[in-house]
Structure 1
Amino acid sequence: MTELTRKLLGANPADPEEQRVVDHIERRAPISRDVGDLADAQDSFWDRLADSVARIGGSWPFIGMFFLFLLAWTGTNSFLLAKGSAFDPYPYIFLNLMLSMLAAIQAPIIMMSQNRQAEKDRIAAAHDYEVNLRSEIEILGMQEKLDRLRGEQHERIFERQELILKQLERIEKRLP
């Protein structure tokens, strides 16, 4: 572990994210990865189905189609009611039952999808923390190197100035 990493994180990094960053720094390996693909690879069929239902059920086309379906249902039943043969007469109790069942099924599926998305967001946030920590350590390391190089350069400049002053003193002594 580098001196700077020890100074910033202590002798033993506290959590697994910090340890992973330290390991990558020591190996000089990149830490970035696509966490979206990683999370998607672990999804089951049911997870993907829940995401699809939530994606479709929460879209404007679905709302538009559903509105048209409700309009057609009520229009058809109202028309048939006038003829005396409506299959779901006003107040449309069967439609109400179907909508309630749809809501009872769709709501938990959407909540499952939201929970999964929240977990993906937590994974992405943890990864962002690792990348940011690695970047911060690398930037501070470069800053230390620049400071050290600047200090060495100043030392060389002072040494040259001393040499020049000594040469000037020798030249002055030779002058009448």
Structure 2
Amino acid sequence: MVPEREGGRERGPAGATATPRRTLRLDQPRPPRRRFLPEWDPEAFGRLSERIARFLGTGRFIVWMTVVIVLWVLWNIAAPAALRFDQYPFIFLTLMLSLQASYAAPLILLAQNRQDDRDRVNLEQDRKQNERSIADTEYLTREVAALRTGLGEVATRDWIRSELQDLLKELEERHRRDGRVVFPAERADHPGGRDAEDR
């Protein structure tokens, strides 16, 4: 027997009603859960902590804190008894300084952690940049070596000129032995020689 539906509830065979079952739909986002703790933006809180830690590490903070402590002590010593709020052992001042220190230490640690994270990212980027520079340098070194090797096999103008001069000397010596004049234009009666005619 199929259970009947009655206004969102299932009615069983004996007429008993069951609570409706909520099915989890995967095509819709989950409804937001209630949070009992306050929410904050960690990035904004980290920036604020860095600002505070940076201020705590300045001379201005030390001067202001010294001025406040001196005024506190002077007021509680020299003011009329009815207006003094912290008598001689200055317990309230000690409490305020302890409270300030208890907040300053975690804020400074948080700022240092953020700085360490930034330093780690910068070191990683520098390491990658160094690896790229080394790879580029090795590539350029191989290319320069290949160019030098290739240029060693190329005939230069000076080499061709020296080879031609050697050939010319060989021809002149051979024709001298045979008693013939090789280049009549280069005789003493033609001072410019062959190059002068070509020009």
- TM-score norm. by structure 2 comes to 0.60
For the aligned residues, what is the CA RMSD? 2.4
Among residues 94, 110, 117, which one is paired with 2:115 in the alignment? 117
User: Which portions of structure 1, spanning 4 or more consecutive aligned residues, are displaced by more than 6 angstroms?
Assistant: none
Matches within 5 A, 1:69-148: 69-80=68-79, 83-85=80-82, 86-148=84-146
Aligned residue for 1:123, secondary structure, equals: helix
Equivalent AA in structure 2 for residue 132 of structure 1: N
Distance in 2, matches of 1:160 and 1:150, equals 17
Higher radius of gyration, 1 or 2: 2
Among residues 138, 146, 151, which one is paired with 1:153 in the alignment? 151
Taking every aligned residue pair, what percent have the same amino acid on both sides? Answer: 29
Q: What is the CA distance between 1:161 and its match in structure 2?
A: 3.8
Equivalent AA in structure 2 for residue 55 of structure 1: R
Structure 2 residues not aligned, in runs of 5+: 1-40, 177-199
- TM-score norm. by structure 1 comes to 0.67
Moved more, 47-56 or 151-160: 151-160
Q: Determine which structure has the larger helix proportion and give its number.
A: 1
Bigger relative contact order, structure 1 or 2, given CA contacts below 8 A and separation 6+?
1
Structure 2 equivalent of residue 48 of structure 1: 47
Q: Determine which structure has the larger strand proportion and give its number.
A: 2
Distance in 2, matches of 1:150 and 1:68, equals 74
